[in-house]
Structure 1
Amino acid sequence: MFRKLRNKFLILNMSITSSVMMIAFAVIYIISYNNINSEIAKKLSPQAGMQTVIEGRELPDDTESSKSKVHNRRFSPDDPYSFNIQVDGNGKILEIDSPFHMDEESYKKAADIAWRNKRSSSIVTLEGKQWKYVTTQMKKQVIQGNGQSYTIAENKYQIMFLDVTMYKKTLYQLLITLLSVGIIMLFIIFIISLYFANRAIEPIVETWERQKQFVADASHELKTPISIINANYDVLLANREETIESQLKWLDYIKIGTDRMTKLINDLLSLAKMDDLRFEIQKVPFNMSDAVNDVILSMEAVAAEKDIKLIRSIEPDIIVKSDPERIKQVISILFDNAVKYTDKKGQIEISLTKSKRHVTFSIKNSGKGIAKQDLPKIFDRFYRADSSRTHDTGSYGLGLSIAKTIIERLGGEIYAESVENEYTTFTFTLEF
């Protein structure tokens, strides 16, 4: 189940990331492609010589020569890599204007290909290079004596060839680069996505396992009081003729079982309520010093039964803005826990101090202490470091979990310190 969930996270993340990356790369390539084509089109714009003729004057007729004229113009680095060929209406070469030293057969081949496809602009390969060409009809502008002019289309055409080898190579290299980067990025994204997908489901797996353990532990704990109630109920049924007074012992056992079950259910309800993020905690200013003293007074008799010495160090009139009932509940849980695990004639130290931003409550009790390996687990639900004393203390291992949940919901922090066979200290801090 969790593997499927992880794979869904992974596929979703890879799909979104890959789509965004592919769109970005496609946009880069399309923009580069359009820019290069625009530059090529600009350089191939019709540059056929517009011959200007003043009416009454005649220009020499180039068509009279049976041989084509070749003009080798000087090449300039600023000029585009191009050459021009003039042909007549039948595609016969009239003039070649080129800075390159190519044989006439190459020019003739280029002119033949271009003339056959004169209505389209395509690419021809000559001597290992790619040339894009465009064919335009040459025109003559005639200026009359009165200053007016008109244009006459001649039966001659100019074919301009532009070297696009580097442009094509640039586009090809860009495509290869984008594909290479895309493949590498997809691999990196897959590794990162897999890592974060595993990290994302870790809390879910942990919560699921804790939930399963919680249900199993709660069921186990409920079985004991239910068994007590059922067993004593059966005894009562077996002695129906007896009076209630003679059966008080069994009724007391039933009462003990119901009390234990009631306590467990109340603890479970408290945890469920505090875990519900929709449950609003009311924070109001109150005197925390008085709250601590009230809890100590209410539980002082329990400590006196074990002849436990109480040492108080409580700063007076510490005002905090929090939930007073929940704070009292946490202090009661910690005090009750300290009394349970303090041996007779032991000692409990309670302190309440404040700093510039925090108020700190701590309770330290002498006794057996908590083993180092058990300290990280003591706030887990149903966890008891000393399971042999469960029935003596009436503990279900939920008190500290409730205290931790409350303090965290109030924005505070709670932790424990212990040295085996010496002491245990529980401390929580709250902001003003």
Structure 2
Amino acid sequence: MFKRLRNKFLILNMSIISVMMITAFAVIYTITYNDMQMENQNKLLSLPVIKLESNSNPPKTNGSVSAGLHVIRNIPSDYSLSFSIRVDSDGKVSDIDSYIDMSDENYHKAAELAWSNKKNNSTINLDGKLWEYTLSPIVENHIIFQNGQQSVNTTDKGYDIKFLDVTDTHKTLGELLATFIVVGIVMLIVIFVISLYFANRAIKPIAEVWEKQKQLVADASHELKTPLAIINANSDALLAVQEETIKSQKKWLHYIKAEICRMTKLINDLLYLAKTENTSVRRIYSSLDISSIVNNVVLSMEAIAFEKDIKFSHKVEQDIMVKGDPEQIKQVVMILLDNAIKYTDEKGYINISLKKTKRYIVFSIKNSGKGISKQDLPKLFDRFYRVDPSRTHENGGYGLGLSIAKAIIDSLGGRIYAESVENESTTFTFTLGIYAL
């Protein structure tokens, strides 16, 4: 499901980027092409009339011009490679003006290709070069006065074909197009890799939450299954002997009552956890004396520790103030202390510490015992996780205490973590900013 979601995100992202990139490249290419075409047209229109430096008109024979009638001049620095050919109304060459040392055969071929196209502006290929040309008629107007009347006599002198070398222009456009294609492909590959990376990062938290949600439902169902089975079995036992008095069957009722209490605690813990993790609820915290809260919790739990012959020590700095909910802070301290007492063997020890640094308050509780393996440490704060599942019913826990503690500390902007040395000790620590939320 999440892979399909990621793939849809990638397809949508790549499609949008591809369309935008193609559009941008097309606009740039079109503007460049039009600018170059406009520049070439201006050059063609502004080509000077180049006259042959000869003292006599060149002889013409059957529309051909001999190579010896061309004068090759020095090309000006601002001049583009070009030449002009004059043809008569039948398309036969009558004159050639050129800066270029090229054979008459090529000039005639250029005139023939341009004349056969019958287009005012077009491009021909001549000996591996591209030539853009314009074909315009040559008309001479003669004013005649006759009988006091003025008239204009128009004489058709043929056509003037101007050629401009545009090989470099087309080469530049081709290189620009090739560059766009290569850059586009490389950019799409890079963008795809980056998009894939961020898509995976974006999907990962959602997938983790989804998996945790599934695990929560499965674990909650499993935890509810046992008490419900016990309640059902005891109910059957009561129904089997309906003639007996309630007093004689009270042990079955006690079993049912105990399991109902356990389920009620589980449901309340789940509701509290959901409420604590609800980030959309804005909470207003007040200033509180965390030193006093820790001392009160320690005093209330000393009797339980004494029963297990646990050596109890605590070092609490006084008058440490933070912002938060006193009930929540108290619950976190109680959860950690209760957890320490449960997993400390008889004649073991528990050390409690509360101190203040420049920026944080640090609360830690260390207890002796079996410790926790390295592979179990990252899972300690997961819902329904228990390092020693065999002790669940003995202790009456569901593995939600540490999850609730973490949710509370996270909501206060703090941090909670555990450290352990196997077969020696375990330490739980949480920190809160002195000016926390």
TM-score range, shorter chain: 0.7 to 0.9
CA displacement at 1:89 relative to structure 2: 4.7
Aligned letter for 2:306?
A
SS in 2 for 1:321: strand
Quick one: distance in 2 between partners of 1:296 and 1:31?
79
The alignment status of 1:286 with 2:288, answered yes or no, reads yes
**Residue 24 of structure 1: how far off its partner (Å):** 2.8
How far 1:131 sits from its partner (Å)?
0.2
Of 315-324 and 107-116, deviating more is 107-116
Amino acid across the alignment from 2:400: L
Deviations 1:383-403 (A, max 9, x none): 111111111111111111111
| Greater mean deviation of Cα atoms: 109-118 or 379-388 | 109-118
Indicate which of 245, 248, 251 corresponds to 1:249.
251
Change (3 A) 1:322 1:403: same
Q: Determine if the alignment matches structure 1 residue 28 to structure 2 residue 28.
A: yes
Does the alignment pair 1:351 with 2:349?
no
For the residues of structure 1 that align with 2:153 and 2:194, how far apart are their CA atoms?
69
Identical-residue share of aligned pairs (%): 58
Deviation of the 1:65 alpha carbon = 7.1
Is 1:259 paired with 2:258? no
Matched residues in 2 for 1:327 and 1:141: separation?
107
Residue type at the aligned position of 1:161: F
- The one-letter code matched in structure 1 to 2:97 is D
Point out the more displaced range, 20-29 or 309-318.
20-29
1:417 aligned residue: 419
The answer to whether the 8 Å contact 1:343/1:366 transfers is: yes
Aligned to 1:245, the other structure's residue is in SS state coil
Question: Are the counterparts in 2 of residues 46 and 136 from structure 1 also a CA contact under 8 Å?
Answer: no
> 1:41 offset after TM fit, Å?
2.0
Q: Give distance in 1, aligned partners of 2:277 and 2:18.
A: 38
Quote how far apart the aligned CAs of 1:26 are: 2.1
Partners of 2:314 and 2:351 within 8 A in 1: yes
Please give the per-residue CA displacement for 1:2-28, whole angstroms capped at 9, x wherever unaligned: 332222122122212322322232233
- 1:352-367 alignment to 2 at 5 Å? 352-367=354-369
Comparing 121-130 and 90-99, the one that deviates more: 90-99
Contact 1:48 1:138 in 2 (8 A): no
Deviations 1:288-320 (A, max 9, x none): 112222322333333233233321211111111
The one-letter code matched in structure 1 to 2:354 is L
Q: Which runs of 5+ in 2 are unaligned?
A: 143-151
**Aligned pair partner of 1:160 in 154, 159, 162:** 162
Of 271-280 and 153-162, deviating more is 153-162
2:403 corresponds to? 401
Cα distance in 2 for partners of 1:153, 1:244 equals 133
For residue 55 of structure 1, what is the aligned residue in structure 2?
none
C-alpha RMSD over aligned residues: 2.9
**Aligned equivalents of 2:352, 2:24: Cα separation in 1:** 63
State the aligned residue count: 417
2:403 partner SS? helix
CA deviations 1:342-386 (Å, max 9, x no partner) are 122322211111111111111111222212221111111111111
SS at match of 1:31: helix
Query: Partner of 1:133: helix, strand, or coil?
Result: strand
Deviations 1:107-139 (A, max 9, x none): 223223334555520001122211001123457
Question: Is the Cα contact below 8 Å between 1:267 and 1:398 reproduced in 2?
Answer: yes
> 1:50 offset after TM fit, Å?
12
Q: Secondary structure at the match of 2:10?
A: helix
Alignment partner of 1:310 out of 293, 312, 336: 312
Q: Distance in 2 between matches of 1:261 and 1:104?
A: 107
* Compared CA separation, residues 128 and 352, structure 1 to 2 (3 A): same
Between the aligned partners of 2:89 and 2:46, the Cα distance in structure 1 is: 18
Partner of 1:228: 230
Provide the residue aligned with 2:85 in structure 1.
Answer: 85
Q: What code does the residue aligned with 1:136 have?
A: S
Once the two structures are superposed, residues 227-272 of structure 1 have per-residue CA deviations (whole angstroms, 9 ceiling, x without a partner) of 2222222222233333333333222211210111011111111222
Instruction: Determine the C-alpha separation between the residues in 2 that align with 1:240 and 1:329.
Output: 44
Question: Contact 1:50–1:140 (CA<8 Å) still a contact in 2?
Answer: no
Equivalent position of 2:377 in the other structure? 375
| Unmatched 5+ stretches in structure 1 | 52-59, 143-150
Give the conservation status (yes or no) of the 8 Å contact 2:419–2:427. yes
Give, in whole Å, the separation in 1 of the partners of 2:301 and 2:197: 51
Q: Which moved more, 1:211-220 or 1:34-43?
A: 34-43
Partner of 1:385: 387
The verdict on how the C-alpha distance between 1:152 and 1:344 changes in structure 2, with shifts beyond 3 A counting, is farther
- Aligned counterparts of 1:283 and 1:109: Cα–Cα separation in 2: 93
CA–CA distance in structure 1, aligned partners of residues 255 and 3 of structure 2: 48
Aligned partners of 1:50 and 1:141 also within 8 Å: no
Contact 1:10 1:194 in 2 (8 A): yes
Distance 1:302 1:120 in 2: 106
TM-score by length of 1: 0.87
CA shift for structure 1 position 340: 1.0
1:154 and 1:279, CA in 2 relative to 1: closer, same or farther beyond 3 A?
farther
Amino acid at match of 2:44: L
Q: Kindly tell me: are residues 171 and 402 of structure 1, through their superposed partners in 2, closer, same or farther at Cα, counting changes over 3 Å? A: same
Question: What is aligned with 1:324?
Answer: 326
| Letter of the 1:111 counterpart | A
Bigger CA drift: 329-338 or 12-21?
12-21
Aligned to 2:75: 75
CA contact 1:48–1:137 (8 Å) conserved in 2: no
